Chain A
């Protein structure tokens, strides 16, 4: 039989109707086809934005070999450890929202002379501007903060030396750069400590080329240290809580996530040491029965997080697929706007 279209031989997972509307079971294990091996024994480092905390906790709870440095003894209650930035990620770096932050952290960790800490002062207490949440009340002495940062960088260096796979969750393109040093900050001055008047910083919305370059440079630093670390990228499905871009927060979120997702796609397709896991799509779209948002329409629901890890386990461990409830609407119920779309013609080739 003559081959009529390039879509003729595409399997079921390539079609929206069979993969998403009908949720055919055989399509689910194609949602993520790992490029490199990852098993519960692999030494994993987690880092990134808030969603990376879900990844860290779930993998740790499930018995995966998630590395953890900078621990406090068990005598310190779990709630205190978490409030002070312990056990949230593989090290006590707080949220790393941007690729630039990651690059600068890793560069600092291996630098012969790490850059001077950025210190914010608030009501006589000192905060590390590069991770201001890890000491919620700040520290009494600036010298303690310097020592704490030095210890932290040493721990990060040790962590990277053990890591085989880094799971990094990209959160934002928007950031504030410290005017004096150019360093990317996790939050604007004045949000937790410091003020925009005395700690001047400039808003910056990282572009696709900049983020791509930051991730490549991160990889380059690791290779320069003879570290063979593969990087599994994810994009946080959590929308921006606020934008400084001047745009509506909705389109600003979409722009930010789109740029991040595009960078991931480029690296996934072009570099053997980068891969992408679609937690963003699982939470925000109907690909696996979603979207999955909590009542505040921002945080992922627990069902969504369960589904993310169901797909993760299916992809890497061959576990049973997660239970998926199709939210398909009846055929006769048309969309509110019956638009014409050439794409829909491709449906005729669906198997």
Chain B
């Protein structure tokens, strides 16, 4: 919580949370956040991560989405957030749910042995060297685009995209295959190290998924699945987005170090 340097009196902290469909967890958590952090004033703002790859918004302040309809058609959920956002008005800016292309590696890890690690019995293989080099190159490319788009300063924190919940192995073969890699823990550590180093070298604040919220490599604890907070089909099978508890835990780590 931000404190007034003069009187050490807690003041209202204005927090902007920007992100793609994963910010639905923060929207669901708003009442919990208000209760736990009454001085936090949270504003949600939908930005499809594809936008900064396509440079469709460009670096601008205030950020402006073309319309909520456009945002939704780009895969965003309806968060009823503002159409325009002046980032200079916030004490903290959370760039939520950045995966640094992790989901794109699931299909590789589910179908390839990684030479240099324990093999999983797949017919195809890729060397650990090639995989590592690819991750490094693509992480750097992602970071550069993100940095160019947001021009982040010390108020910004890049929040790692949540891993899918444990239940996702039942209906998403690529995630199941990735989690079944014999050295999945080493692969996850490799990815996390590459991303952390990249952001540290660029002086960007980074919040990886806390280990207490991880059930197994590449999988979040089942209790955090968005499906747990839903009672209707087909949304009830949503194991890739997280729920309000997850968002509250993540925010708590950032607000109460």
Interchain CA distance A144-B133 in the complex, whole Å:
18
Q: Is B50 an interface residue (CB 8 A)?
A: no
A-contacting 9-mer, from B86-94, B99-107, B213-221: B99-107
CB of A139 within 8 A of CB of B127, answer yes
B116: chain A residues at CB < 8 Å are 139-141, 144
Q: Which residue of A lies closest to B107 (CB)?
A: A73
Minimum C-beta distance from A114 to chain B (A): 17
> Could you say which of A76, A84, A147 has the most chain B C-beta atoms within 10 Å of its C-beta?
A76
A317 on interface, CB distance cutoff 8 Å: no
- A interface vs B, CB < 8 Å? 72-73, 75-77, 79-81, 83-84, 135-137, 139-141, 144, 147-148, 151
Contact present for B101 and A75 (CB under 8 Å): yes
Is B134's CB within 8 Å of the partner chain A? Answer: yes
Q: How far is the CA of A76 from the CA of B125 in the complex (A)?
A: 13
Residue pair A80, B107 in contact (C-beta under 8 Å): no
Verify B115–A147 contact, CB threshold 8 A.
yes
| Smallest Cβ-Cβ distance to A83: which chain B residue | B133
* Known contacts A79-B137, A140-B116, A144-B116, A73 near B108 by CB under 8 Å: yes
**B133:A80 contact, CB within 8 angstroms:** yes
Given A75-B108, A77-B138, A141-B116, A84 contacting B129 (CB threshold 8 A): yes
- Residue B190 is within 8 A (CB to CB) of chain A in the complex: no
B107 to A75, Cβ gap below 8 A?
A: yes
Please give me the residue from chain A that is nearest to B101 by CB atom: A75
The residue of chain A having its C-beta at the shortest distance from the C-beta of B106 within the complex is: A75
Inter-chain CA distance A147–B118, complex, in Å, is: 13
Alpha-carbon gap, A69 to B71, bound state (A): 40
Residue of B nearest to A139 (CB): B115
> Contact at B115–A144, with CB atoms within 8 Å?
yes
Within 8 A of A (CB), among B108-156: 108, 113, 115-116, 119, 123-131, 133-134, 137-138
Q: Which residues of A contact B126 (CB under 8 A)?
A: 72, 76
Residues of chain B within 8 A (CB-CB) of A80 are 130, 133-134, 137
The A interface is mostly helix, strand or loop, or mixed, namely: loop
CB closest chain-A residue, reference B131: A76
Q: How long is the Cα–Cα vector from A292 to B134 in the complex, in angstroms?
A: 35
| A83 CB contacts on chain B under 8 angstroms | 130, 133
- B123 to chain A: closest residue by CB: A151
Given A75-B108, A77-B137, CB of A135 within 8 Å of CB of B101: no
List 30 A–B pairs whose Cβ atoms lie within 8 Å, in order of A's numbering: A72-B130, A73-B108, A75-B104, A75-B105, A75-B108, A76-B108, A76-B126, A76-B134, A77-B134, A79-B137, A80-B134, A80-B137, A81-B130, A83-B130, A83-B133, A84-B127, A84-B129, A135-B129, A135-B130, A136-B129, A139-B115, A139-B129, A140-B116, A140-B128, A141-B115, A144-B116, A147-B119, A148-B125, A151-B123, A151-B125
Identify whether the interface residues of B are mostly helix, strand, loop, or mixed.
helix
Contacts A73-B108, A135-B129, A139-B129 aside, 17 further interface pairs with beta carbons under 8 A come to A72-B126, A75-B107, A76-B108, A76-B131, A77-B138, A83-B130, A83-B133, A84-B133, A136-B129, A137-B129, A139-B116, A139-B127, A144-B127, A147-B113, A147-B119, A147-B125, A148-B125
Number of contacts between A and B (CB, 8 Å)? 58
Chain B residues near A148 (CB, 8 Å)?
115, 125, 127
Asked if residues A75 and B134 are in contact (CB atoms below 8 Å), the reply is yes
Q: In the bound complex, how far is the Cα of B141 from the Cα of A75, in angstroms?
A: 13
CB distance from A55 to the nearest CB of B (A): 24
A72 contact set on B, CB distance < 8 A = 126, 130
Shortest distance from the beta carbon of A193 to any chain B beta carbon, whole Å: 14
* Residue in B closest to A144 when the chains form the complex, CB atoms: B115
Q: How far is the CB of A58 from chain B (nearest CB, A)?
A: 25
CA A73 – CA B128 in complex, angstroms? 15
Instruction: Kindly name the residue among B104, B107, B128, B134 whose own CB sees the greatest number of chain A CB atoms within 10 A.
Output: B134
Bound-state CA distance A147–B126 (Å) is 11
Q: Which residue of B lies closest to A154 (CB)?
A: B123
5 closest A-B pairs by CB: A144-B115, A75-B104, A140-B116, A76-B134, A84-B130
Chain B residues whose CB sits within 8 angstroms of the CB of A75 once the complex forms? 101, 104-105, 107-108, 134, 138
What residues on B are CB-neighbors of A84 within 8 Å?
127, 129-130, 133
CA distance A151 to B125 in the complex (A): 9
A151 and chain B: residue at smallest CB distance: B125
Q: Please, how many angstroms separate the alpha-carbon atoms of A334 and B48 in the complex?
A: 70
Give bound CA distance, A179 to B138, whole Å.
43
Which residues of A lie under 8 Å from residue B129 when comparing CB positions?
Answer: 84, 135-137, 139
CA gap between A57 and B137 in the complex, in Å: 23
One digit per residue, 1 when the CB lies within 8 angstroms of any chain A CB and 0 when it does not, for chain B 236-247 equals 000000000000
> Residue among A75, A79, A139, A141 with the most chain B CB within 10 A?
A75
A231 CA to B116 CA, complexed, in Å? 37
A-side contacts of B123, CB under 8 Å: 151
Alpha-carbon distance between A73 and B131 when the two chains are bound, in angstroms: 11
Closest to A73 in B: B108
- Is the Cβ of A76 less than 8 Å from the Cβ of B115? no
Which residue of A is nearest B108, CB measured?
A73
Closest to A70 in B: B124
Interchain CA distance A196-B114 in the complex, whole Å: 31
A73 to B123, CA, bound (A): 14
B248 to chain A, nearest CB (A): 33
* Complex alpha-carbon distance, A144 and B113, angstroms: 10
How far, in angstroms, from A139 to B113 measured CA to CA in the complex?
Answer: 13
Closest chain A CB from B126 CB (angstroms): 6
Report Cα–Cα, A83/B115, bound state, in Å.
16
A147 to B113, CA, bound (A): 11
Q: How far is the CA of A12 from the CA of B138 in the complex (A)?
A: 56
